[in-house]
Amino acid sequence: MAAEKIFLIGMMGSGKSYWAKKIAKWNKCVGYDLDELIEMNEEKSIPEIFSEDGEDTFRKTEAKILRWFKEKKKFVIATGGGTPCFHDNMHWMKKEGVVIWLDESIEVLVSRLTAEKAQRPLIANLDENEIAKFVQEKLIERNPFYQQANYRITSDDIKEANLKKIILKHVS
């Protein structure tokens, strides 16, 4: 396992895209956002894919694009919140590289998601209380997958120094 291939997982709103850009800069590699790659590949937004093609089609496309990274040498990728839970993606990511779970608090997630819910098809029509319930339910559902990550960084510890320590442990 080297810090050549870094996969960031966690709930939507946990900061995966933000940290992928930062880590890519420190690690002198390319940073990707899996959802952005799916949108480019499908020439549709994530909400459009969900509404027009359904979640199952989205998850198959997600797995296909994730597997494209097998041939890549050095990168960091922000995965979607559900990515580890489908098509044996978690097992595949762990085999390919280092998986870091950004485990943000429910309060922070709800605050962030409420502000950007229009871009998130699974919560677009929910109010703040419904978003909180959704987040709690999804965490219960996804925790068995998330807990398989090589590293788990919780709310107060999601900091530059802690992420750099993990990366330095795995630089070949």
pLDDT digits (tens, 9 = 90+) for 37-83: 999 999 999 889 988 999 999 999 999 999 999 999 999 999 999 99
Overall pTM > 0.85: yes
Burial tier of 43 (Cβ tally within 10 Å: 0-12, 13-18, 19+): exposed
- Strands, DSSP E only, in 34-97? 75-78
Q: Indicate whether 122 pLDDT > 90.
A: no
Q: Indicate whether 1 pLDDT > 60.
A: no
The token pair that represents 138 in the structure block:
């999804």
The token pair that represents 148 in the structure block:
């398989």
* Alpha carbon distance 101, 99 (integer Å): 7
Average pLDDT in the 136-140 region?
Answer: 96
Taking alpha carbons only, the member of 32, 2, 29, 6 closest to residue 163 is 6
- Spell out the CATH class of 5-167: alpha beta
Instruction: Enumerate the domain spans of the chain.
Output: 5-167
β partners of residue 9: 101
